[in-house]
Structure 1
């Protein structure tokens, strides 16, 4: 018997039991839809995190003092004074893989304008900091090298600070605010960056020359942190090696001595977050994949029922010349039809569900073509795998016994 006839017989058999066929497909439909939706949400989250890290500066390198032991007590890194301006200058002048370098000192306090005030943090940096953190000036301008040399009382503010202090909606540029007791003239307003993946408001800050914060607020000469950017994300590790060598030389550390500084990169954060989201995506897909297994068991169950119901039909077809392989092919085609049809419906339902999640819950999604093809391939293999044994049982029936079956 040719394939076309077998296909027609399989379609007719399924159309005679539409409701049973649909209920059998339901497990496959739910399984495929769940896998596609979960993978879309997982990949969307991953891409969203990567985009946010990129906005923060994916090639950014952060250098902080390391904790030290004194009298058997490990000091906090914030109490150390191991980073000096000389370190900053040497990193800027002697590295090949570092693009921008900025010192950083910061202090938390109250920003005040008229009757309005808000708690915030002031960061003392140089002009490279905006490039490293990818901040842009929306209005006004940044401070100059002359402002840094003279420790001028000028600053840029984030959108959150502007909204809290200037409730009338007027431009803050040119206005004078106080941070604690120190007056600062606003020379620029930063473009809004919103919250990052860790829930930190990137607009709740004041940026000023580092010399101003050092001398007028903190009264220190050392640096609390140095931030750099590698030429590209791919050069991050080489840049870290260069910086490590320079700092160990400057701090006169022996080979046996531990670093008195710590270096972290956004690349590390990106790798950690990516591996976490990948693990969650795999777990979600695995849970959703259980539905495919349940659907496959449902197909096997229904095919067993179908073989039992049509035992006499199988016997009659064998008695007029149908071979075992024809019977095997017929029931296998029915099984594959159920799984493929359910797979197609599941793909459409999964894509639709992902789009609904994105629209209603504003959750980031990304539907990868391979996830659709993989889900469809798996459901097809499920039909073959779980349909094979019932089909084989039908093919092995004895024609005489099958005709006598009641």
Structure 2
């Protein structure tokens, strides 16, 4: 009895017990469906979000004061020399010089404890006041829900206008009041509201942009009476593949502007911004681990069910096994036949599970946000590998039991 004959006999046995095969395959199909469905949905949602934010942060990098504190840089527990903070004029000079390569925004945090007033109403002293230009919101991924962005003229001349977060609007305005073109007061200066940001949500327990006010960076520089503000730059290169080269160019420009001498270390920090894609991939990684965990538990139940069915099959076919051994079938061929049956049942269930999993995963992804149809070839390949492994694991013990049956006792079995 060769391998081909074994395969034919295994398929014939599966066909003769069709109902049992369908029920067993359904258990495997549910496990594969849950695994492929969840992973397809995760990849589909991630792809849609990445498409919505395509390019955002993919080629961004930040330039800021050394040590970010603007004071002494600390490395390996040792306090190094003090570096001057990045000044406003230096940041503007870099923005202009880098303009031929890509856009750049200059910004600074004026205060994280500002109190904002409007008439008799005022906020708690925990509002973040930030000076920014018109490119800041696009490079940082902040969308303006109402109103408009700063104009070039307002940024150039530092007009008294502002863009606010939704929490500021809730604190100072009633439900029926319109914040646009109204006024609020910060540090004794009255600003006209020209825009309201979309709700961003809290990240890491902080209020983020929801509880922030943005004013033109030129206007913010006037509040820097002691010259202690730390100005930062976020620049975007022309191509993510050329990012390292363009970061090198940016380093050379900034060293020239800061007048760093040859052989002297940089008096500023230049770091790659974490892209939206990298953040999504990190989150999606955790979701995939959860999906694998749930799918594994389901497949574990399926493998136990399959093993039980195969053990029953061995008992039912004891006399058949005895006849095969009497005709010369070796224990290896008997094991092979039962293993092939288990693997075929798993693969049949896996095919059904993959098809339903792809459909359900895409339905879930498109229900959350319209997008294309995703075929996860990697997870399809993984699913079939899992099916074969489950078939081998579930069929080995019953196959081993069948191969060890005594042919004389098997022939007498009723």
1:402 aligns with 2:407: no
Measured against aligned partners, the alpha-carbon deviations of 1:213-249 in whole angstroms (never above 9, x if no partner) come to 1214765375421222222444433332222122223
Q: Distance in 2 between matches of 1:115 and 1:334?
A: 80
1:102 aligns with 2:110: no
Residue number among 212, 222, 225 corresponding to 1:215 in the alignment: 222
Shift of 1:178: 0.7
Q: Is the Cα–Cα contact under 8 Å of residues 335 and 400 in structure 2 kept in the other structure?
A: yes
Q: Which residue of structure 1 aligns with residue 63 of structure 2?
A: 63
Residue number among 100, 116, 119 corresponding to 1:114 in the alignment: 119
> When the two structures are superposed, what TM-score results if normalisation uses the length of structure 1?
0.74
1:12 aligns with 2:16: yes
The structure-2 alpha-carbon separation of the partners of 1:172 and 1:348, relative to structure 1 and needing over 3 Å to count, comes to same
User: Which runs of no fewer than 5 residues in structure 1 stay unpaired?
Assistant: none
Q: Is the Cα–Cα contact under 8 Å of residues 108 and 131 in structure 2 kept in the other structure?
A: yes
Q: Is the Cα–Cα contact under 8 Å of residues 120 and 204 in structure 1 kept in the other structure?
A: yes
The structure-2 alpha-carbon separation of the partners of 1:378 and 1:296, relative to structure 1 and needing over 3 Å to count, comes to farther
RMSD: 4.7
Q: Distance in 1 between matches of 2:227 and 2:96?
A: 22
Q: Is the Cα–Cα contact under 8 Å of residues 64 and 224 in structure 1 kept in the other structure?
A: yes
User: Which runs of no fewer than 5 residues in structure 2 stay unpaired?
Assistant: none
Measured against aligned partners, the alpha-carbon deviations of 1:296-353 in whole angstroms (never above 9, x if no partner) come to 465345424422332113334677x796799677645542453245435655775688
> When the two structures are superposed, what TM-score results if normalisation uses the length of structure 2?
0.73
Q: Is the Cα–Cα contact under 8 Å of residues 44 and 362 in structure 2 kept in the other structure?
A: no
Count of residues paired in the alignment:
398
Measured against aligned partners, the alpha-carbon deviations of 1:239-285 in whole angstroms (never above 9, x if no partner) come to 32222122223333345543332223334675366256436624752
The structure-2 alpha-carbon separation of the partners of 1:56 and 1:396, relative to structure 1 and needing over 3 Å to count, comes to same
Q: Distance in 2 between matches of 1:134 and 1:272?
A: 13
Q: Distance in 2 between matches of 1:110 and 1:76?
A: 36
Q: Is the Cα–Cα contact under 8 Å of residues 162 and 195 in structure 2 kept in the other structure?
A: no
Shift of 1:286: 5.7
The structure-2 alpha-carbon separation of the partners of 1:379 and 1:316, relative to structure 1 and needing over 3 Å to count, comes to same
